[in-house]
Structure formats: C-alpha cells, structure tokens
Amino acid sequence: MIGLTVLGSTGSIGVSTLDVAARHPRRFRVVALTANRDVGKLFAQCRQFQPRYAVMADAECARELARRLAQVACPTEVLSGVEGLESVAALAEVQFVMAAIVGAAGLLPTLAAVRAGKRILLANKEALVVAGQLFMQEADRNNALILPIDSEHNAIFQCMPHDYRRGFARVGVERILLTASGGPFRQLPLERLSRVTPEQACAHPNWSMGRKISVDSATMMNKGLELIEACWLFHTTPERVQVVVHPQSVIHSMVQYVDGSVLAQLGHPDMRTPIAHAMAWPERITSGVSGLDLFEVARLDFEPPDPRRFPCLSLASQAITAGGTAPALLNAANEVAVAAFLEEHIGFDAIPALIEAVLNDLTPVAADSLETLLEADREARALAEQKARKLV
C-alpha cells in the first residue's frame, strides 16, 4: 500500500486526487488530509477515508473539526498551522504527497515533502515560481521525485525523452509548445475588459477550477507562471518555451524535436488524467475519465496569444529572465491583485497594471535562501496591498 498525503484536499485538485485514490483502494491508503478553513468538506472526507491525520491551516477551524470528528467517533487526529502541514508532508508512512495548496502558502509544506525524499505530485506551481532554484536543488539533494500535475506540464513530461535532463540539444528537443485555452475573454473586445466581473472571470469555458486559478486563466497569468515552472521542471530557458493558444483544450501541450517531429498529449480537460498518470507512473491506472472521441472533437485550432489582451504573460517572461527573487515578487503581487479583484476593489484590467507597478518599484536580489524569498514575498504583498488601496 502506498501512503498518501493530500495537501489541499478540499480544493478541486484534492477532490480529484481522492476520487482516483478511491478507485484503487488496494493500491493507495490516505494517511493525511489538509485544508485551510473548509471544515465541512474536510469532515466529510475524514469520515470517508479515515486518515490518521487531518490538518487545518486555521487553528479555530481545527478545533471545530476535532469537535465534529469526536462526535462521530472518528479516530483522525487533528493538527493545525504550518507546523502541522509540514509534519504530515514528511511522515515516514507516506510515500506520495499531492501538493495542491493554492498559492505561496503551499511552499513550506511542499518543501518539507521534498526534504523528506517523497514522490511529489506537484499541482502547486507557486512552489517552483517562488523558489525554483532552491526547490530543485533540495529535490536533487534528497532524491525526491517531482512529477507535474498541471495538465500542461504533465503532457510535456509524457512527450519528453526520459533523459531530458541531459539538455535539450543532447536529446534532440527543439522547444516546448505550452498550450493555453485563452480563457473566457479570448475574443472579448479590449475596451470591455475593464467592465469584467469576478463571476465572468471565474466562468472558464473548459475547466472547473478554483476562483483564484480561474482569474489567472482569464488574465493568462496562469500561463506565465506555467512558463516559469516549465523552465525549472525541464531545465530550460524561456526562449525554448512557446505559448500556443488552443481553445479546445484537447491538446494539453507538445514537444517539438529537431527532426521536425512534434509529440502531443491529448485528452479530455479532466484533471484526473494527469493525477492518475503521476500516481501510477511509470505504470498506468484507470482514472474515471472516458476516452477521447476524435470524431467528436472534429477540429483543433491554434493561434498566438495577443500581448495587448494578456500583458501578464509578458510580465512573467520578464520575471524569469530577470531571475533571483523577481518571480517571487511577481507571484506575490499577482495573488494580492487577484484577491482585490475578486473582492471588487479593483477592476479586471487593473490586475496586470498593479503587478507591473510592484515589479517596477522593487529590485530583485539573488534567491540564495528561503528567508530571502519569504522576505521578497512579504515585501511585494505589502506594496501591492498599499497600491491596491489607492485604486479603490
């Protein structure tokens, strides 16, 4: 039995992970589940999977969860805070850790799993965006295996030669083709972007995702973060990664080779496919996702991203090129900007403007320690919040 910790079990990725695990009860044992504040959903998951531990980031919510579990005689032990998250990520009885906490909050527990040498099923892109160099160094030092869960990076992983870490030139890879749906505003007139509402931004045409990730898809910052993540995961530079808008979200990404070949991974837009792939790799297991009917798909369209519509993509490319703490600054400013938009304090078109203003005011430094990265994150958040208040 493979012991599994799910960091962020009440989110969409966590729920899909538990769905796959439940289909293979003789293969996976859920050891620990974690959530931020959703007591009701974590309570239901604890009753179904009977994990040894449950962790809530919020201490008051943890007390409420413990009270509810005691009422139904569920033996799950409840922990709280960052310390609790880190402890269940590094448990000796856990072999696989699903890292699905959204945002920079997932960095420390994911890093704890890396340092414990686990198989990391990486759905938290911010861990690599904020601390890519440190993260990959720790993975190598502790023999941790990182398998990407983002549908795009999982597709790239499936299309790459097994020895890609030797360098693209040595293995015949020309470039990565990173696909993007274009989100809900791909064809919206530019002058109407300022009037976009949070509900409209969260209505993704293909994927069912959380609100923050949905807004990132609408601004295409999610693709910018994925570009940064791809550079770290596949040991390459942004010049070797081309973003391709593909509205159908059937091709999840491609790899182009020097001989003219392009390998692509296709499938329904259902996160259970990449989750099942990473949970079973190098084997394959059922995921609950139906096979792709190419006759029903009928056509596949591609177009370049419009830089006027998606300025966040350029901001992300500039950040990974600048290096050091620049990606951490970018990510922190984006999280604050998206939160301000969802709370209707700023307009949709103010999101990239706010991020750019923060990046212009702060100078990146060498990302040589976790403390330096966390300080950059705090500094960028404080400045972004200050600037956001002025826009209200």
Residues that constitute the known binding site for Mn(2+): 150, 152, 226
Q: Are 325 and 376 in contact (CB under 8 A)?
A: yes
**Residues of the binding site for 1-deoxy-D-xylulose 5-phosphate:** 125, 151-152, 181, 204, 217, 222-223, 226
**Residues of the binding site for NADPH:** 10-13, 37, 124, 126, 210
How many Å apart are CA 237 and CA 246, to the nearest integer? Answer: 22
How many Å apart are CA 156 and CA 236, to the nearest integer? Answer: 13
8 backbone φψ class: left, alpha, beta (φ>0; ψ -120 to 50):
left
- What backbone torsions phi and psi does residue 283 show, to the nearest 5 degrees? -90, -175
The dihedral over CA atoms of 206, 210, 212, 216, expressed in degrees to the nearest 10, equals -20
Neighbours of 91 (CB within 10 A): 18
How many Å apart are CA 231 and CA 320, to the nearest integer? Answer: 8
**Residues of the binding site:** 10-13, 37, 124-126, 150-152, 181, 204, 210, 217, 222-223, 226
Q: Are 149 and 275 in contact (CB under 8 A)?
A: yes
Q: Are 305 and 182 in contact (CB under 8 A)?
A: yes
Helices 126-141 and 221-233 pack at an angle, to 10 degrees, of 10
- What backbone torsions phi and psi does residue 180 show, to the nearest 5 degrees? -140, 140
Structure tokens at 77: 């032990």
